[in-house]
Each structure stands twice: as structure tokens, then as C-alpha cells.
Chains A and B, each alone.
Chain A
Amino acid sequence: MADPLLERLHEALARSGLKREARAWALLAAWALAVAGLFALLLALARTPVVQDLLPWRGDGFFRKALVTHVDFSFVVWFLALLGVLLAFAAALLPKAGPAGAILGRIAVGLGILAFFLMALPALLDRGLPALNNYVPVLEDPIFMAGLVALFLALGLVSARLLAGMVRPERARDELALAGAAAALAILVSLLCFLIALGQLPKGLDPANWAEHLFWGGGHVLQFAYTILLVAIWQVLSRLAFDQPALSPALYRAALFAFLPFILAAPFFYARHPILSLELKNAFADLFLYGLVLPSLVAGLGVLTCWRQRTQPGGAAGLALILSVLLYGLGGLAGYTLGPNDTRIPAHYHAVIGGVNLAAMGFYYAVLLPLLGRPILGRKKMAVSLGLYGLGQFLWTAGMFLAGLLGVARKTAGAAQGLDSAPKTIAMTVMGVGGVMAVAGGVLFVALILYGLLAKRSRP
């Protein structure tokens, strides 16, 4: 293991006994994508003539439940489990990481696995009332809700463990430990926001309204945790790909610091505005506009500078990094030109999420698998998965954005889309081709990392 960062992490994981925990979170994240893919397949089959009659589930009810489960696994479980990896790494890098922390980590992983099954099961059993609300869509079902609580509790536990271990500032030197602490803070504040909203929401509120307003505030804060993860991955991948970190230590700390005031401010919005008010909704939207742009812009520019000054090709880490920065940047720019209800909105958030996903793909290939002593995957396969997913997401975003500019409404299908002109049809066709490419790249990625994580260990 030539890279000093990976060597330090490898030693820290072995010393702290947190290697198994990191692998468990990495596996949970990978399985989350696999389950999301399975539900995507079921969604397609449930609308395919003849085949739909062979499935044990009938009608629109199952379709919506499968959609909720698909979104939760491809977005919430996947990202939270990835944060679990970061938090395990960060905890291992602390000087006093010890057996008590490892036991707490095992409890958290157990809760995460329990959550996984509890959240996947209700849709398959055709249980619960679906709500396709923002950030954390839910099934109104006790089993599903218990799973969601277990997942949040798991992440809350490992976040609290890390912050408790970092009470002295001199311990927060390592860049991954710093990012872990910032992400842990964002997770705990988002959980606090959920609790405040739970306490403030009036009794008897309609379940759809309840879910939307319960997860609105904390859901926004969770995006800060995901963005901190992104900045940390860019920093690490840049070092591996181009032999220098995206940001100098001082700039990296400043970028992470820039997230914190907005994270800490979030709970106070509930004291400033009523829970059911447009002002509260917009206050959380302001968090994105004012709080996410500066640090991610600084980190993105840092990556591009390293790329310009590169002396080596960069390999899979470099490809993932550049595609991630470009797609995330495109999504960010698209966010400033949104219409009220057209396809520019999904173009924006799919590009941003795609940017985080590409960074995560590079993280698995260049950091996680080598660090866990797993077989090194073929370069060509890694490049193909990254290229397919990245290019596919670019096409998808471009098609959706163009269609939105031309007035195509979001979340519509078939005749309801109103594709009454050639440019609209071309835009949506580009979107469709990009979607197929991105799915192919994603499936290849999941297959590769599951193979890597489940295969026999190679020499570290």
C-alpha cells in the first residue's frame, strides 16, 4: 500500500478493531444499491404487459410502494451507509479508538442491518400506505417506520461516538477525521430537526402532509452530511489520482468550517417560524442556496486545479473525480435556473446526486477495496462503469434540462408529457438513452464492488 494516507488508515483500522465495521457499512451500502436495482426491475415488470400478470403483486398500490422503497434504498440507505464508512474511518483515526467504540459500532451495524430488512419487507408484503414526500419517502406502516428509526438510530450512535472521541481539538488533525466529525454533526442536527418537527406537527395531520413536513428540515440538513462526504472523497481521490490533495490543509479546514454555521443554525428555524408555514419551508431552502455553494465550489476548483497540474493520468480515481466534479457543477448551475414544476428540477438533483455517486464509485475502487484487502478490480471494467454512468448521467441531465426549458412537466409519463414538438421529443430521447447508459454503468459498479467485497481477501 504505497499511499501514506491508505497506510495510515490501514494501520488505524487494524489497531482500533474497526475494519470489520467499515466493511459492514461498505457492504450494506452496496447491498442497498442492489436492492434499489431489484425494486427498479420490479417497477418495470409491474408495468410490462403479460409479465405483470405473473407477479404476485397487483395494481398501482404495489407500484407506488416499490417506488418508495427504490428511492429510499438508492438515496437514503445508500448515502447513510456510506457515511457509516466515513464515520468508522474517522473513529479509527482517533488516538484512543478502543474496544468500547468497536462494541458501539457493532450495535450500530446490527441496527443498520435490521433497518435494511424492515424497510425492504413491507413493499414485498404489499403493506403500508405510500407517501412520495421529499427527502425520505415513507410507507405508512409500523414495520417500515421501525426500520427507518433503526437506521437513524444506528447513524446517530456512530456520530455521537465520533464526536465524543473528538472533544479535544488536537485530535482532529486528520482530514478524514475532520470530515467525519463535520458529517457526524450534520447527522445529529438533522435527527434533532426530525424530533423538533415531530413534536411541533399538529395531531391528526394527514399522513402525506405529516411525512413531508416531518422530513423537510432534517432532510435538508442531511444533504450537508452528503456534501461533506463528497468534499472528503474529492480530497482523498485527488491525492491518489494526481499526487496532491484538492485543497491545502488550511483551505480544506476552511471549506469544512463553512458548512458548520448553516448546520448549527437549522434547529433555530423551528423557533423562528411556525412548523406549517411557507417561511419555514423557504428557510431550509435558503440553507442550500447560502450554505452549500461556497465550500463545494472551493473544493471543486481545487480538484480542477490539481487536474490541470497533473503529472500522471490518474486512473479510475482520476476519472471518477473529474466526472464527479463536472456533473456536480452542472447540477449546481442548473439549480439556479429552475422552473416551478418542469423537468429542470429532476435534471438538477439527479446531476448533483450523480456527482456524489461518481465520487463514491471512485472511493470504492481506489480506497475502500484496496484498504479492506479485497481483490483489485480490472482497470478496464472500472473505467467502463464510470464512463457509462458518468456519460449517461450527463445525457440524462442535458435531455431533462432541455425538455424542462421547452415546458415539459416533471413526473409525467406517456401522453401527459405533452411531447408536441420535435425538440421536446429529441430532448426526452436523449434523456432516455442517457438513463439506459447510467443504469448499465450502475449495475456494473454494484456487481464489481459486491464481487470485490464478498470475494476472498487479497494481500493488503
Chain B
Amino acid sequence: MRQRLIATLIAVLSMVLLAVMPAWWRQPKGLSYALDPDQFAARTEAMAKAHASGRSTETGQPIVRPPEGDVYLMARRWSWYPVLELEAGRRYRLHVASQDVVHGFHLSLNDAERLLVPGRVEVVTVRAEKPGRFAIVCSDYCGLEHNGMQAPLLVTDKP
């Protein structure tokens, strides 16, 4: 009798777990919009030119220190362009998009994750309270060097 009761509870619990699983009601996070990859590349390039502050010895990419507001980050096999240097305590709208194939975006600072489908731009709000170095990694398999597709997000004190 006791065994049957536990068995019934297990069966009922499995149905409850199925019903409460976030898979059914999860909605896309944050804002996203359609934009041609070339146009997005032009915006990113313009930001990089206007606010370049050096070159990363680690990734070889330019380091860019944009002002608070809209900033751009481009994913392409197998790197992130450019390296962003943000100011602690400021609020940024990070526009991130893929230039070539499907990539995943994961930022360790706020555990933000997005799937980057070419032709769509994902917008992530970023605000770091303290200076530090945070990891941006590709979280969707995109080819043989996928695991090496990493870049730092640098957060510094006010100049």
C-alpha cells in the first residue's frame, strides 16, 4: 500500500514538473531588431574608430572605450570585435550581432545569453558596479575553433 502511494506520488510529481517547466512559457529576453550585417559592421567600425584606446595583446583586436549609451560588438569566426572597455557604474546598451554564421553570446558579468542569428541584432543592458575583467564566450557551436572564441570585457574606474 505504501509502495503504491509513493509510486502514485512519483507519477503525479512528474506531471507537475512537466507543467511547471519554464520551457513552455519562456519568452525571448530583452530587445532585438533586424539589421543587415554590413550595416551593423559599419556602425561597429565607426564606434571603434571614434573611441579606440589601444590594442589588446591577448586577442590582437583594438580596445575601444566608448561613452555611456549604445555600444556595438560583432561576432565573427572565431573572435569578438572590438575589445570593449567600459566604465564602472555607467549603464550601456550593448548591441551584439553576428557577421557570418550563428553564434551564441554569453557574458559572465551578468550571465546574459543570446543566440546571434545573422541579420538580427540583440541588445543587452550592461552595468558593472566595480572594475574587473569579465569573459565573453561563444555559447553555440559555430565551427572547429568554437571553444577558442573568447574575449574579455574590461571594466575600469573613472579616468
Contact = CB atoms under 8 A, between A and B. Distances in A.
Interface string B107-143: 0100101110100000000000000000101011111
A294 B17 contact: yes
A286 interface: yes
B11 interface: yes
Interface stretch (B23-31, B38-46, B47-55, B81-89): B23-31
B115 A278 contact: yes
Interface of A: 64, 130-134, 205-206, 208-209, 211-213, 248, 250-251, 253-255, 257-259, 261-262, 265, 269, 272-273, 276-279, 281-284, 286-287, 290-291, 294-295, 298, 340-341, 409-412, 416
Interface stretch (B2-10, B64-72, B151-159): B2-10
B150 interface: yes
Contacts of A291: 14, 17-18, 21
Contacts of A277: 28, 115
Contacts, number: 131
B4 A250 contact: yes
Contacts of A276: 102, 115, 117
Nearest to A272: B24
* Size category, B interface: 35 or more
Contacts of A273: 26
10 contacts: A254-B8, A258-B14, A262-B14, A278-B29, A278-B114, A283-B21, A294-B10, A294-B13, A341-B150, A416-B148
Contact of B135 (A131, A259, A340, A412): A340
A272 B21 CA distance: 13
Interface of B: 3-4, 6-8, 10-11, 13-15, 17-18, 20-24, 26-29, 100-102, 104, 106, 108, 111, 113-115, 117, 135, 137, 139-144, 146-148, 150
A261 B14 contact: yes
Nearest to A249: B3
Contacts of A340: 106, 108, 111, 135, 137, 139
Given A286-B23, A410-B147, A341 B102 contact: no
B14 A269 contact: no
B144 A132 contact: yes
Contacts of A248: 3
Given A277-B28, A286-B21, A286-B22, A251 B6 contact: yes
A282 B137 contact: no
A290 to B, nearest CB: 5
Nearest to A205: B102
In this complex, which of A130, A131, A287, A341 has the most chain B Cβ atoms within 10 angstroms of its Cβ? A341
A286 B137 CA distance: 22
Contacts of B135: 340-341
Contact of A208 (B10, B143, B147): B143
Contacts of A253: 7
B6 A287 contact: no
Contacts of A294: 10, 13-14, 17
Contacts of B18: 261-262, 265, 290-291
A206 B23 contact: no
A265 B22 CA distance: 13
Contacts of A205: 101-102
Contact of B102 (A206, A255, A409, A410): A206
B94 to A, nearest CB: 16
A251 B17 contact: no
Nearest to B139: A340
In this complex, which of A208, A253, A294, A410 has the most chain B Cβ atoms within 10 angstroms of its Cβ? A208
Nearest to B106: A340
Contact of A269 (B3, B23, B143): B23
Nearest 6 CB-CB pairs, A to B? A283-B23, A254-B7, A258-B14, A206-B101, A254-B10, A250-B7
Given A134-B141, A212-B141, A276-B102, 11 more contacts: A208-B141, A211-B141, A261-B14, A272-B23, A273-B26, A279-B27, A290-B21, A294-B13, A295-B10, A340-B111, A416-B148
Given A290-B18, A294-B10, A298-B10, A281 B140 contact: yes
Contacts of A295: 10, 14
B11 A258 contact: yes
Nearest to B103: A209
Contacts of A286: 21-23
A258 B23 contact: no
Contacts of A258: 10-11, 13-14
Contact of A261 (B15, B28, B29): B15
Contacts of A287: 21, 23
A212 B18 CA distance: 25
Contacts of A411: 147
A286 B3 CA distance: 29
A290 B17 contact: yes
Contact of B11 (A209, A257, A283, A412): A257
A282 B21 CA distance: 11
